[in-house]
Structure formats: C-alpha cells, structure tokens
Structure 1
Amino acid sequence: MLDGDREPATGADAPTFEEYAASAWPRLYRTAYLLAGSHADAEDLAQQTLVQAFRTWDKVSRADQPAAYLRRMMTNLYISGRRPKSRGLELLTDAPPEPRPGGGSALEDRLVLWPHVASLPPRQRAVIVLRYYEQLSEREIAETLRCSTGNVKSTAHRALKALRAALGSDTHEGEEA
C-alpha cells in the first residue's frame, strides 16, 4: 500500500508536505504518464497536482484518503487542461520490431493498444486508465470524476467501442475486450 493510502496521521505524526510528496511521487507520476501519454506532460501534470496540493495541504492532509484526493485533483487537472484539437498530432517513432512467431505477448498487445488509448477523448481516456491500469472500481472512478457510476459505465462502453473499432476487433457487444 502506498504511504498516501494510509489513514491520515494527526498531530506530530502527520507527514509534512515534502515527506508526503516524496512518498507519493512514483504513484502520481505513473498515473500522470498513463493519462498524459508522454514523460514531459506527465511530469508537468504530476507537478501541477503537487502545487495544487501544496496550496491546500491542510485540507489534503486531513482527508480520509489523501491519495484518492490527489488522484481526483490530477484527473480534474488533466481533463480540464485538454482541449479538442482541430487536427491530430502524430508521434514519430521507429518502426516496431517484426512480430515473433507464435503470437504476441501481453507487452506487445499493450504496445499495439496504447496508441489507440492515447487517442481517446480526455474523459474516456481517464476512465480507461483509472479502470484498467489503476484497477479502480466503477464507484471509485465515479468518486474521482465526481459523476455517477452510470456515467462511468457509459463512458467506458463508448471508449471500449472506439478501441474495438480502431483495432478492427471481432468482439461482439457485451464481451470483454
């Protein structure tokens, strides 16, 4: 369990902002990277989250789950900071290696899937990242995004439908991707 997931300490046991930020950074950065899709943007997003947390540290440190509080801050910063672009940007990369005989590994499957996840609209991408990469429940995602679980379900449905279409999947409605 991440230090930030523990019950808040009181009095002299309460961590300083600096102590909490140092222990929470790896988890914040990982989530930020999954949301933002690049190291530079992830660092900016994680740092913006910590700046915002610093400004309201008394409130954050008293929260029942400071890590969930920061995750909500980060997700809101990500969604509000993204604007639809009139044209898509492409990342230039070297061509991936030739596939190995015998099928792809889970890592190779993720490499094929990730560009499509990265192209989803911000809210859909946030739901997919929180659900499938962060392993949060629909209720936890709804709390993070401050919406209903029904909204989380429908957003996830639309995101998975878009991913299936992008991958040309033959998966039928109602089956897991």
Structure 2
Amino acid sequence: MGDRDAEFTAYVVQRRPQLYRLAFLLCSDAHRAEDIVQVALAKLYGAWDRASRMDGIDAYTRRIVVNSHLDDTRRPWRRERTKEVEQLDGPAAVPLGIEETDALWSALRGLPEGQRRVVVLRHYWGLSVEETARDLGISTGTVKSQSSLAIHHLRRVLDPAPSAGERR
C-alpha cells in the first residue's frame, strides 16, 4: 500500500465513527448514514492529495458528508421517511431513558432539514457559528436564525407544559 493510501486509511480509521454519527444525526437512519459516509469517503479519497494538505481537513470532510446527505435527500426514492430510530454506535454523553431518547429523535426528525443540519453541527458537534456557516455554505445570520427557530421548536415539543412565568 502506498503512502497516500496508508494516510487515507489512517484518517478514515480515526474519523469514521464521528462521520457516521454526523450522517446518522442528519438522516435518522443507520443504513442511509452508512451509505452517506461511504459516498463521502469515496469523494474524499478522490480529492485526498489536495485535502490531506489542508489545515481544516475535518471541516472539509464534514462538508462532504453534509453535501452527500443533501444529494441523497434529492433522490426520489429517498423521500420516504422511516418510523424507526436506531441507536448510535456509542453511548450518549448523558445517558437518557428510552422515552427521552425516543422523544428527542422524534423532535429532531420533526425539524426541517436546514434546521436539523444547523442543530447537529452547532449543538452536537459543538462547532462555532462561523464553522457551521462555512460547512453548510450559508451565512452566519442564517445559522443563528435556524438555530433559534430549531431550539424554540425543540423546547416546545420536548417540554409542552409552560413554566410558571411563561405565556402561550
């Protein structure tokens, strides 16, 4: 195996679990997430000579995954939505009960695609507003507004009872 292939393989071995989680959070389907990651890695391999010299290779790779997801959602046979949500391949930072996990996944699936992408990159991956905007190819203002709308929706769905000082 050449140096190029060895470097690429080492990168994939290290980053594949994170790429899978990103794809899964974007599409909520384990099989589609695998497909998205496979397509993204094939694209990355084709650009590896250039990409491996970049300072922001992780951001570049995330962008490929997000774009691969976008391409996948545009395919007519992908317009069906799955009812089941499968678990990620690793534990959550704070373990949730089954009911809370189901409610969270249902709420995330209820978000429009753009808002879901922003929430995943900003709040799951912990990217800055600027990094999220760059990865998604949108403005920072769009990231902020989509994040705000998504968080408002998630709070409303996940905690439907208004607090004492809150009016509806």
Q: TM-score range by the shorter chain?
A: 0.7 to 0.9
Percentage of identical aligned residues: 35
CA RMSD after TM alignment: 3.0
Correspondence list, 1:2-41, <5 A: 16-41=7-32
Cα deviation digits, residues 132-157 of structure 1 (max 9, x gap):
21111111111111222111001112
Correspondence list, 1:1-177, <5 A: 16-83=7-74, 89=81, 91-92=83-84, 107-108=96-97, 109-167=100-158, 168=160, 170=162
Compute the displacement of 1:17 (Å): 1.7
Q: Normalising to structure 2: TM-score of the pair?
A: 0.75
What CA distance in whole angstroms lies between the structure 2 residues aligned with 1:157 and 1:59? Answer: 36
User: Which one has more relative contact order, counting CA pairs under 8 Å at least 6 apart?
Assistant: 2
Give the greater-gyration-radius structure (CA): 1
Contact 1:82 1:122 in 2 (8 A): no
The runs of at least 4 consecutive aligned structure 1 residues that moved more than 6 Å come to none
What CA distance in whole angstroms lies between the structure 1 residues aligned with 2:132 and 2:104? Answer: 21
Q: Normalising to structure 1: TM-score of the pair?
A: 0.72
Compute the displacement of 1:79 (Å): 2.6
What CA distance in whole angstroms lies between the structure 2 residues aligned with 1:115 and 1:73? Answer: 26
Q: 2:96 is aligned with what amino acid?
A: L
Cα deviation digits, residues 65-119 of structure 1 (max 9, x gap):
211110011112213432499x9745158xxxxxxxxxxx861334322211022
Secondary structure of the equivalent of 2:111?
Answer: coil
The unaligned stretches of length 5 or more in structure 2 are 86-93
What CA distance in whole angstroms lies between the structure 2 residues aligned with 1:84 and 1:163? Answer: 27
